[in-house]
Structure 1
């Protein structure tokens, strides 16, 4: 599994917290997680790290906010603009979209693929999944 959901990670961390506070060893906790989650269990080093944090009075099993640049390019307005431009010109390129909207090519690509579920087919941007009526009109 490439990336685990926050809820999935929170579930395992909560289990680590309870078992650590009860005095169980990270090795035993890890073995139990492997029994339940198999290959999707967090690593033994992660169990040790979180176990230590909980024994040092950490309260929350949730991730703390991280320092970094906030995502500002994928706003609802930019997503709508990209969708509108692709509808009006299905042959438009990522570079032209990026220049027109003063966004990076990576941001435009993320909007197209992740938010609009579009892919390039025969040099046209089309929705990733077409139903029967859209197949006739596209």
Structure 2
């Protein structure tokens, strides 16, 4: 049985004025190991006492699906142009995203790589090598 179906049963027992232990005993009797824990039954009884009527999951804020936005890419690009010796950790801290995402932006969006402790565009790598 799914979580939402158990919630409906818990709500049913709540509306019938059953106690938490009576509800847990009934669920264990009919559903055995698949029944929700006593703490989950307590949680939902508390939710229903506070006035909640829905048994479905509430919306969650969470983090956004994508942290790579044009604004962040532009900000990283400006920071790199100001100081080509900037560390990935410093960029990540300044922008507020993970170092993995900063690496991804630098390599896949800005086409840069680290050369002699400096970030340089990939297209310049062959010309710099020829000059040096």
Q: TM-score range by the shorter chain?
A: 0.3 to 0.5
* Structure number, greater radius of gyration: 2
Structure 1 length-normalised TM: 0.45
TM-score (structure 2 length as normaliser): 0.47
